[in-house]
Amino acid sequence: MNLLEGLNPEQLAAVTLPRQHALILAGAGSGKTRVLTTRIAWLIATNQMTPQQVLAVTFTNKAAKEMMARLTAMLPINVRGMWIGTFHGLCNRLLRTHYRDAGLPQLFQILDSSDQLSAIKRLLKSLNVDDEKYPPRELQHFINGQKEQGLRPSAVEAWDSYTKKRVELYEAYDAQCNKEGVVDFAELLLRCYELLSRNEALRRHYQERFRYVLVDEFQDTNVLQYRWLKLLTGPEAAMFAVGDDDQSIYAFRGADVGNMRDFEREYKVATVIRLAQNYRSHGNILDAANAIIRNNENRLGKNLWTEAGAGEPIRVFEAYSDLDEARWVVDEIRALARDGHARSEIALLYRSNAQSRVLEHALFSAGLPYRVYGGLRFFERQEIKHALAYLRLIANPDDDTSFARVVNFPTRGIGARSIEQLQDAAKAAGSSLFAAAAQTSGKAAAFVALIAKMKESAHLPLPELVDQVVELSGLREHYRADKEGQDRLANLDELVNAAASFVAEEGVVGAEGELSADLIAFLAHAALEAGEHQAGEGDDALQLMTTHSAKGLEFNIVFLTGLEEGLFPHENSLVERDGLEEERRLMYVAVTRARRRLYLSHAQTRMLHGQTRYNLPSRFIEEIPAGLVKWLTPRMAKQGGAHGGVSSRLTLDEPRATYSSRASGSGTAYRIGQGVRHAKFGEGIIVNLEGGGEDARAQINFGNAGMKWLALSVAKLETV
C-alpha cells in the first residue's frame, strides 16, 4: 500500500520530516493519530529506523492499542517488541527489566488508586494518626502531587506544622511501600526517572536505542513526564511532539500546557507544523470554535477549516428555568428521532456532574433511554446513595442495608468488629441493627442519637429536611475536606434541588404522623429513577457526559447545556490563575465534538442548593459571531454585549408580572427576566419587581457589578 496516499499537504510534511525535533500542532479532528502512526510506518518502510528504535508514548491504553493495530495494517511487522504505550506502561516495562538497579523486588506489585488509598489508611491507623485531621484521600492527593513534581519527602518545602506532618507521613508511606515491595502509579514514573537520572550507562543505552521519540497529546504532559521524555531523548535522537494547546484542559491533574513552549525553546525547534484542516465538523461549528478560542492570549495559534461546507447554523435556546431547558432538550430529541437521527449519535454535555440530574429526570419521565459516559447516573453516585441511606433510616430505622451503609460513614470509629457484634446482638434478639445499637452505649448509641436528631426535622418541607440531613450527617464536612470532593458537594446540593423539584411537581401530599409523606414518595422516586431505563449494551441510547469526559469523542449532534456565567465558565475560574483561559479551552473542546449540528442552551433561572439563582448568559455564547447563530427563542441580537460579543433582550413566552414606570417619562413596561442597561453598572437582568407607580423598584443582577435594587422612577434604565 502507498503509505502517503490521501494525506493533505500539512500531514504529508509532518510524516516525511527528516530527523529533527518537531512540534505538530494538531487541531481537533485533524487526523493526528493517522499522522503519528503513518510517521512511524514511513520511517520503518524507508529504513530510517527499525521497529526496535522507536519510542511512542500515548496517554491511554486504548490509544496505544489503536496505534499498534494501525501499524500492523500498514506494514508486515511484529509490533509486540516495539516500545509503544502509556507513560505508566512503559515505565513498568523498564522497571521490570532493571528491577535490581531500581531497588525493587523482581515481582513488585502495582497499587491502583483504590489500593493506594487503603495502604494510606492502614498507615495512619498503625501510626495512630487522626484521619479526620489528615484525611486519607487528601493525603493521597498530596503524595501523588509531590511525586508528579519529581519530589521525594526530603525535597518538599514545609513552612508550617501541618505540612511538615504530611511530609513525615509521605516519608512513612514510602518506607511502607518499600518494605512491602509495592509501587503506586505516580511511583512508577518517579522511580523510572530517578533510575535513568543516576545510572548514566543505562540512560545512554536507551538514548542510543531510541532514535525517534514520538509523543501524543503533548499538551497533557506534566512536569515529571516532560523530564522523563528529555532523559530518553539523546543527542542523536529526534522528538516528534504532537499536541494542541487549545485542548489543554487537565491543569487540575497536573498537566502543564507550558511544556509545549518549553519544548520549542529548549530544543530550538525549527519546524512547527499546524494541522488545521478538520475532517469532523462543518464550517459554522469550526468558525464558532475559532472565534471563541481567539479570545485566549497565550496560544501557539491556528485556525481550523474544512472542505465540508458551512453546514447548519448553531442553534441557541434560552430557557426560563433549568426544568424548561430540560423539557426543550427532550422535545428536540423526539423531533430528531422522528427525522431518523440515531439516539446514539446525540450527546448531551454539561460542565459539572450535578447538572445531569435535571436532564436525567426529564429523559426518565419521557421514557428515553440514555447512558452516562464515564460516570454514574445521578441517583447511583456514592454521595447521593449515602444521603438517601440517612433519609431511609429516618423513614424506617429497621432498614439494615441503609444502617450498614452509613453507620461508619463518614468515619465515626465504628469498625468491622463493632458491626459484627451488633449483627450478633440483632440476630439473638430478632431485631434490626438499629434496635440493637439502641441497646448499647458508646459510638453506636451516638449514631442512634444522631438519627433521632435528624428525625426531629422530619416535619420540615422536604428540601429543608434533605439539607438538614446532609449537614447533620457530616457528609458535607467530609467531602469539603477532600480536595477532589467538589463534584460530590455539588451533587449533594443538587439532591436538595431534586427534592424541591419533586415537591413542586408532585405537590405537598400531607404528613403521616411525624413523617412527611413527601419523604416516602421521594425515596420511592429516587429508587425508581436509579433502576429504570438503563440502556443495555448496543441499545440506541442518548449519550450524557461532562465536557471533560467528551474529549476525544465526536457525535453528529451535540447539545451543550447550562451555558451561564458562574456555571460555564465556572465561578472558580474567575479567581484562579489562567482559570478563564482553561475554561475557554474546555468550551472549544465541547464545541468541536459536534460534526453536523450544535445546540447551545442556557437558563435565566436555575435551582442551586434549593434556592432559585438568576444567571447571565455565558460570555462564550456572546463570543460567537452573530452570523453563525440561529436563535430558537425570540431575541434582539446586536453587538457590544456585557462581555464584548452578542447581546440580546430576553423574551419569554411565559406570562409574568409587568410594571410600568410612567414617572420616568419613558412609559416603558419592565418585566422579570428583561435585559436592561444602566449608565454606571452596565448590563443586567431584572430578577425581581416590587411596588408600583412612583414606588416601583427593581432588583437587577448586573453580573460583575453585583445585585442592585433601583427605583424605576429615577434609574433611567434602557431595555436591551
Catalytic residue positions, numbered: 32-33, 216-217, 247, 593
DSSP 3-state assignment of 116?
A: helix
The DSSP bridge partners found for residue 602 are 318
Q: How many CA atoms lie within 13 A of 584 on its CB side?
A: 24
DSSP 3-state assignment of 56?
A: strand
Using the 8-state DSSP alphabet, how is residue 693 labeled? G
CA gap 327, 365 in Å, rounded = 10
DSSP 3-state assignment of 614?
A: strand
Q: Residue 563: which of 599, 610, 611 has the closest Cα? A: 599
* Cβ(589)–Cβ(547) below 8 Å: yes
CA gap 630, 311 in Å, rounded = 12
Q: How far is CA 134 from CA 125, 236, 414, in A?
A: 11, 48, 18
Provide the CA 189 distance to its chain's centre, in angstroms: 24
* Cβ(146)–Cβ(156) below 8 Å: yes
Q: How many CA atoms lie within 13 A of 181 on its CB side?
A: 9
CA gap 396, 664 in Å, rounded = 60
Q: Which residue has the cell 488509598?
A: 117
CA gap 309, 294 in Å, rounded = 21
Q: Residue 604: which of 594, 590, 614, 612 has the closest Cα? A: 614
Q: Give pairs for 500-504: CB < 8 Å, separation 24+.
A: 500/462, 500/463, 500/607, 500/610, 501/323, 501/358, 501/361, 501/607, 502/462, 503/461, 503/462, 503/463
Grid cell for residue 103? 531497588
How far separated are the first and last CA of the chain, in Å rounded?
61
CA gap 570, 303 in Å, rounded = 26
* Cβ(241)–Cβ(23) below 8 Å: yes
The DSSP code sequence of 372-429 is ETTS--GGGSHHHHHHHHHHHHHH-TT-HHHHHHHTTSS--S--HHHHHHHHHHHHHH
* Residue 390, C-beta contacts closer than 8 angstroms, at least 6 positions apart: 402, 406, 451, 454, 469, 473, 475
Q: Where are the beta strands (DSSP E) in 93-147?
A: 109-111
Q: Residue 225: which of 59, 33, 53, 19 has the closest Cα? A: 59
The DSSP code sequence of 530-583 is HHS-BPPTT---EEEEETTTTTT--EEEEEE---BTBBTTBGGGGTSTTHHHHH
Q: How far is CA 3 from CA 44, 71, 75, in A?
A: 11, 11, 9
Q: Which residue has the cell 508550617?
A: 160
* Cβ(584)–Cβ(292) below 8 Å: yes
